[in-house]
């Protein structure tokens, strides 16, 4: 009973602090936890269940009005998400990507590396329906696929679970556009389009690879991270440079299950601009929910989650060299406190994402089905 009382006390204290720490804070409860939050057209938000029993919902949500405007306009009477449309997947949904300039979604999840393509129905319907599947060349028996989408020349999806089965497929025709040439069966930790011709891959062991789509079945250009600790799993986040800039301006960050962060220049992936250690409570044993992302509207800031029930925000300004131990400029603890009154294991943050336009607004989800929208207050104001 004492532990429960202490938890309630801690939660009450956090609520009081939130009045001055947060510019905005909304908490919601999903019917099932999600491990993805994806922005779709018109600032819609997609979530999906990842349960193993089947019948996982895919939902497109309409955010509350405060998230649909560029500036907070006082109190809004409507403060909840609304379900705009939805569908059901007979497999767990581990990843979902909106295909730009279309009404299509692509999902992936166990038990193999195939993809499912979904149509978000017209305005007179509230159904998200499956329309096709994409089966990779050698995806049988493989792990679930990481995915990224682009719509420069045509709607494409980049997908793969290991270095030897990375490919680009045209979504609607399911025609192969590119297949990477690699003999390595190393598991992927992340992948991304840098531009319509260039791919960036991050292996789970912390190596970065560049690929050129203009060279079909061309070799991957590998670059090791020499100091990467053995036995740690890695994921990747790619930021956006200034408007009109090329890929050389895109910041790259890699995060390990031990809390290590590397900042990399895409022009020299074999060298790191900075190598730091985040202060996290403990290493993430499996690295299953590791997530790192750059703020799209706030210079030099990134967020980290997947270690516990928090999301940590860091300012990379001034990070240079190696060996630094860095402290976050803000920690969102709301999910961690959500389990104080229920006993058992504390919730684990499964994913987070930044609002595309609102500089300090993030969305985060946890294993207890909680979905938070929060905007922290920076006492010193903006830099630059």
Query: What is the pLDDT at residue 338?
Result: 63
Between 118-132, 148-162, 233-247, 261-275, the lowest mean confidence (pLDDT) is in 233-247
pLDDT at 272 over 60: yes
Strand pairing of 188-195 and 198-203?
A: antiparallel
Closest CA to 130 of 177, 95, 90: 90
CATH topology of domain 1-29+235-376: Methylamine Dehydrogenase; Chain H (2.130.10)
What is the C-alpha to C-alpha distance for residues 46 and 96, in angstroms, rounded to an integer? 8
CB atoms within 10 A of CB 192: 18
Query: What is the pLDDT at residue 380?
Result: 60
What does the mean pLDDT of the chain come to? 84
pLDDT at 266 over 80: no
pLDDT at 37 over 70: yes
318-353 tens-digit pLDDT: 898 888 899 999 999 989 876 554 556 789 999 999
Query: What is the pLDDT at residue 3?
Result: 34
> Is residue 359 a contact partner of residue 29, using CB atoms and an 8 Å limit?
no
What is the C-alpha to C-alpha distance for residues 246 and 221, in angstroms, rounded to an integer? 19
Higher pLDDT, residue 184 or 224: 184
Using pLDDT thresholds of 50, 70 and 90, give the confidence band for residue 364: very high
Which tokens is 323 given? 């060996």
Using pLDDT thresholds of 50, 70 and 90, give the confidence band for residue 83: very high
Query: What is the pLDDT at residue 48?
Result: 98
What is the C-alpha to C-alpha distance for residues 274 and 174, in angstroms, rounded to an integer? 40
Query: What is the pLDDT at residue 299?
Result: 87
Where do you find CATH 2.130.10.10 in the chain?
1-29+235-376, 85-223
| Answer CATH for 85-223 from 3.40.630.30, 2.60.120.430, 3.40.50.1100, 2.130.10.10 | 2.130.10.10
- The whole-number average pLDDT for the span 10-22 is 70
- The whole-number average pLDDT for the span 9-32 is 78
What is the C-alpha to C-alpha distance for residues 313 and 258, in angstroms, rounded to an integer? 17
Query: What is the pLDDT at residue 229?
Result: 63
pLDDT at 383 over 50: no
pLDDT at 147 over 70: yes
What's the pTM?
0.89
Query: What is the pLDDT at residue 245?
Result: 58
- The whole-number average pLDDT for the span 132-159 is 88
* Residue for token pair 């696929």: 145
> What torsion do the CA atoms of 49, 151, 208, 37 make, to the nearest 10 degrees?
-20
pLDDT at 135 over 60: yes
Query: What is the pLDDT at residue 341?
Result: 47
Higher pLDDT, residue 321 or 296: 296
Burial (CB count <10 Å: 0-12, 13-18, 19+), residue 39: middle
Query: What is the pLDDT at residue 384?
Result: 39
User: 111: cis peptide before it, omega within 30°?
Assistant: yes
Closest CA to 274 of 307, 227, 207: 227
pLDDT at 57 over 90: yes
Between 2-11, 48-57, 200-209, the lowest mean confidence (pLDDT) is in 2-11
> Is residue 101 a contact partner of residue 107, using CB atoms and an 8 Å limit?
no
- The whole-number average pLDDT for the span 90-94 is 96
């Amino acid at each position: 009973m004492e532990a429960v009382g202490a938890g309630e006390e801690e939660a009450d204290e956090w609520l009081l602090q939130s009045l001055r720490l947060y510019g905005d804070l909304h908490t919601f409860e999903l019917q099932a936890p999600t491990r993805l939050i994806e922005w779709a057209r018109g600032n819609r938000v997609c979530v999906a269940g990842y349960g193993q029993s089947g019948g996982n919902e895919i939902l497109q949500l309409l955010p509350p009005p405060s998230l649909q405007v560029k500036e907070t306009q006082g109190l809004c009477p409507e403060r909840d998400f609304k379900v705009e449309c939805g569908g059901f997947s007979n497999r767990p949904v581990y990843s979902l990507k909106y295909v730009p300039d279309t009404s299509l979604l692509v999902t992936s999840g166990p038990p193999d590396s195939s993809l499912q393509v979904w149509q978000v129905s017209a305005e007179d319907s509230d159904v998200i329906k499956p329309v096709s599947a994409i089966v990779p060349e050698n995806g049988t028996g493989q792990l679930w696929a990481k995915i990224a989408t682009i719509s420069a020349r045509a709607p494409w999806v980049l997908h793969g679970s290991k270095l030897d089965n990375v490919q680009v497929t045209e979504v609607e025709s399911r025609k192969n556009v590119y297949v990477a040439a690699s003999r390595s069966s190393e598991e992927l930790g992340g992948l991304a389009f840098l531009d319509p011709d260039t791919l960036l891959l991050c292996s789970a062991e912390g190596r970065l690879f560049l690929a050129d789509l203009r060279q079909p079945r061309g070799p991957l250009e590998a670059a090791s991270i020499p100091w990467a600790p053995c036995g740690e799993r890695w994921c990747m986040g790619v930021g956006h440079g200034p408007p009109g800039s090329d890929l050389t301006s895109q910041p790259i960050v890699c995060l390990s299950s031990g809390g290590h962060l590397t900042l990399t220049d895409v022009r020299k992936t074999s060298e790191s601009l900075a190598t730091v250690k985040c202060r996290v409570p403990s290493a993430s044993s499996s690295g299953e929910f590791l997530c790192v992302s750059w703020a799209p509207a706030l210079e030099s800031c990134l967020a980290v989650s997947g270690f516990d029930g928090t999301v940590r925000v860091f300012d990379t300004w001034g990070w240079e060299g190696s060996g630094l131990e860095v402290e976050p400029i803000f920690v969102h603890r709301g999910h961690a406190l959500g389990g104080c009154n229920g006993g058992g294991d504390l919730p684990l943050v499964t994913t987070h994402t930044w609002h595309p336009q609102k500089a300090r607004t993030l969305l985060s989800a946890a294993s207890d089905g909680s979905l938070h929208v929060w905007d922290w207050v920076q006492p010193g104001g903006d830099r630059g």
